[in-house]
Structure 1
Amino acid sequence: MAGRGQKIGLLGGSFDPPHAGHLHITRAALTRFGLDQVWWLVSPGNPLKARGPAPLEKRLAACRALVDHPRIRVTDFEARVGTRYTAETLTALFRHYPGVRFTWLMGADNLASFHRWDRWSTIMASLPVGVIARPGDRISARLSPAANRFRTAQLRGRESHRLPMAPPPAWCFINVPMVDLSSTAIRAQGAWA
């Protein structure tokens, strides 16, 4: 799916359900970070959530139905290689795709709680991280333990195109027009069963 030297963004998550907000931040990441592709890593489950997601096949099908962009790929890589945590997934990706320049992508809400992820500082030290603004999470993300610990590794938003080639640790917070959608709210409305 990728060759040596390509710049690939990785957007991991449950996608339970996928929605226009996921597409919005993916398109922004492609442009602002100068990526060749973005892969949606649809996870089998989220270790930080008590409730399990909808069946993987249902979520993959919904993602594929939503995505109509030649540079966005939907993948079940984590299920195929049997990883549960992001750090394990990254190790497997680095092994399967040597020479690919991966950039981890996350919404600001994830940066705010990133210090709760398994081996989060190892993740930051392994590859560049692109953070995309989300409604209501800008301040908490910028004041988070991860942002504080890696403050000196932050690129300014106007330097965002440099991120994929920056040696880790490196991260960049970008502001984009907001789409106020969340999978949690969609499930709460009963629009995803």
Structure 2
Amino acid sequence: MRFHLPHAPDGATIGLLGGSFDPPHEGHLHISEEALKRFGLDQVWWLVTPGNPLKSRGPAPLPKRMEACKTMLHHPRIQATDFERHTNTRYTAQTLQALFQTYPRANFVWLMGADNLASFHHWDNWQWIMENVPIGVIARPGQRTAARTSFAAKRFDFARISGKQSHRLAHATTPAWCFINAPMNKTSSTQIRNRGNWAS
């Protein structure tokens, strides 16, 4: 299996959506399209992880998940990459450091659903992440309150950019984060697996 390493034009602003994509679904695509529009991004990369350190159960084989992403993605500015397999990184902070070294002329924005912000303080080196890359948070069903009152949100409340100013995020001085409300898409990978439509 060859590596899928995307090209980043000099000065490009790239949103990073990390996850197992087990399987990829319309919710991932929805978040990516909203991020492109609201944060003024040039591209969005799906960072398909070999394994999630916060989950005990392993995902489906990486080649299967990469192929599913390629099948779904037809947007010219959204692409999937197995960058973490290439760099042998597993934690977001490690992956970001590798991205900074590999693409020194790109501008990155970390993207996450509101549910991830609620548990963000459990991530490895989460404060370093917040202090070194702008973070765009997209609301998902049932997670708005938990995200806005989360430990990370309170700790970095001073660095929050209002949703009306979301276009400023990509070039803001870190720490900087922005919470946007977007039309909801309730699809989740867990639901798809539970319906038996995806076998690991």
Deviation at 1:4, TM superposition (A): 2.5
Unpaired runs of 5+ in structure 2?
1-6
- 1:122-161 aligned at under 5 Å gives the runs 122-161=128-167
Which SS does the other structure have where 2:193 is aligned?
helix
Which whole-Å CA distance do the structure 1 matches of 2:190 and 2:56 have between them? Answer: 13
- Give the partner amino acid of 1:31: K
User: Partners of 1:152 and 1:99 in 2: how far apart?
Assistant: 28
Q: Summarize the alignment of residues 5-24 of structure 1 with structure 2, pairs less than 5 Å apart.
A: 5-24=11-30
- Report if aligned partners of 1:14, 1:45 keep a CA contact under 8 Å in 2: yes
Displacement, 1:54?
A: 0.4
SS in 2 for 1:3: coil
Which of residues 169, 172, 177 in structure 1 aligns to 2:175? 169
The residue aligned with 1:25 is 31
Aligned to 1:118: 124
Q: How many residues align?
A: 193
Structure 1: 4+ residue segments shifted above 6 A: none
Matched, 1:99 2:89: no
Q: 1:104 is matched by which residue type in structure 2? A: W
Residue 66 of structure 2 corresponds to residue 60 of structure 1:
yes
Matched position secondary structure for 2:137: strand
- Aligned-pair Cα RMSD in Å: 0.6
Gaps of 5+ in 1: none
Any idea what SS the aligned residue of 1:106 has?
Answer: strand
TM-score (norm 2): 0.95
Aligned-residue offset at 1:3: 2.4
Whole-Å Cα distance in 2 between the matches of residues 155 and 45 of structure 1?
32
Q: Specify the code of the residue in structure 2 equivalent to 1:39.
A: W
**Identity across the alignment (%):** 65
Provide TM-score, normalisation by structure 1.
Answer: 0.99
